[in-house]
Amino acid sequence: MRYLVAFILIYLVLGCSKEEPPQKDKSAIEDPQQQFEWKLVTSWPKNFPGLGTAPEKFASLVERMSSDRLKIKVFGAGQLVPAFEVFDAVSQGISEMGHGASYYWTGKAEETVFFTSVPFGLNAQEINGWLHYGGGLALWRELYEPFNLIPFAGGNTGVQMAGWFNREINSMEDLKGLKMRIPGLGGEVITRAGGTSVTMPGNELYTSMQTGVIDATEWVGPYNDLALGFHQVAKYYYYPGWHEPGAMLEFIVNTDAFERLPDDLQAIVEVATRAVNQDMLDEYTAKNNQALSELIQKHGVKVRKLPEPVLSELSKLSNEVIKEISSRNDLSSRIAESVADFKEHSMAYHFISEEAYYEARRVLSD
């Protein structure tokens, strides 16, 4: 929350006094061999597994494809700007590019959340379909255009876990008074359910769980959770993740910087983001598989399912929260309607395809 406040202040001070965009250097387009050097600031610790290695891969692909005509230096959170100032830094041209998550910028516009993940919303396969073939990307670009930014999908973690708990969750009563690290709309839902939602960086979570400062925390999924050692300080690992069913990351590019690139380098940037977008989900799929097995078999983790009446109440509260965001202005209404329509059709189709297949395969192997 303190980040959010700092954020709003920075925005009020800096964001509104937008500098003149630099003059476009037309010679750039005329000299096909011109070299470019870009900075890429991120919201993650340098080389953090999955989230932080994705922008490194992006930079390396772009450099290979461009024969080093576009060199990209990647910065971890805090190295050039803090984690939650990536949006402003790229918007203002301090850095040409950024990697983070759209829902970190709800201080700018609440509807950014639709471009990461909303409770009971689209999963990874669906949000990619919506973005690239359901009108999502055009809406996202419209939302970011006033900030002089062009967004691209930047990876996906898949369905996240509901989190680590030191309290059994058998009914809504058990959420009352629960202190849980859970950001975004999920946090708002937990608050409405009578809990207290806390926002804190990943590196403080282990100690906070151990000392009882918080009773529960969500993070990502088995791969990243195992690395942080939550199984040593929490009693139960709950599923299914209802609050972030397919968290999409983002690449953002400063519009002026992008327009200064010749067409081939623009294409290289765009196609590399698309490749990395898939690559991250591939990595999470494979590594979550392995990590879950290790958590259960080696560390004896107790995996529990949230009871249906609890999920049902969380779903009602989520709908309330989403409805409030969806009616702020014309653009938020159009985004919310587009997502809702895509979700309705996806649910109908995936009921007879992906879901039915998962179920059939599992039942037969029992």
Our measurement of the distance from residue 137's CA atom to the centroid of its chain's CA atoms, rounded to an integer in Å, reads: 15
Question: Minimal distance in Å, beta carbon 36 to its own copies?
Answer: 15
Nearer to its own copies, 252 or 301 (CB): 301
Nearer to its own copies, 91 or 128 (CB): 128
Nearer to its own copies, 201 or 309 (CB): 309
Question: Minimal distance in Å, beta carbon 19 to its own copies?
Answer: 31
270: left (phi over 0), alpha (psi -120 to 50) or beta: alpha
Question: Minimal distance in Å, beta carbon 249 to its own copies?
Answer: 14
Question: Minimal distance in Å, beta carbon 273 to its own copies?
Answer: 9
Opening angle at CA 160, ends 195 and 158, nearest 5 = 155
Q: Is the dihedral of CA 245, 316, 184, 199 positive or negative?
A: negative
CA separation for the pair 202, 269 (Å, rounded): 30
Nearer to its own copies, 141 or 179 (CB): 141
Nearer to its own copies, 329 or 358 (CB): 358
Nearer to its own copies, 13 or 352 (CB): 352
Question: Minimal distance in Å, beta carbon 327 to its own copies?
Answer: 21
Question: Minimal distance in Å, beta carbon 81 to its own copies?
Answer: 28
Nearer to its own copies, 205 or 317 (CB): 317
Q: Please list, in sequence order, all residues whose beta carbon lies within 8 angstroms of the beta carbon of residue 311, skipping any fewer than 6 positions away.
A: 240, 242
Question: Minimal distance in Å, beta carbon 355 to its own copies?
Answer: 4
Nearer to its own copies, 143 or 159 (CB): 159
Question: Minimal distance in Å, beta carbon 251 to its own copies?
Answer: 13
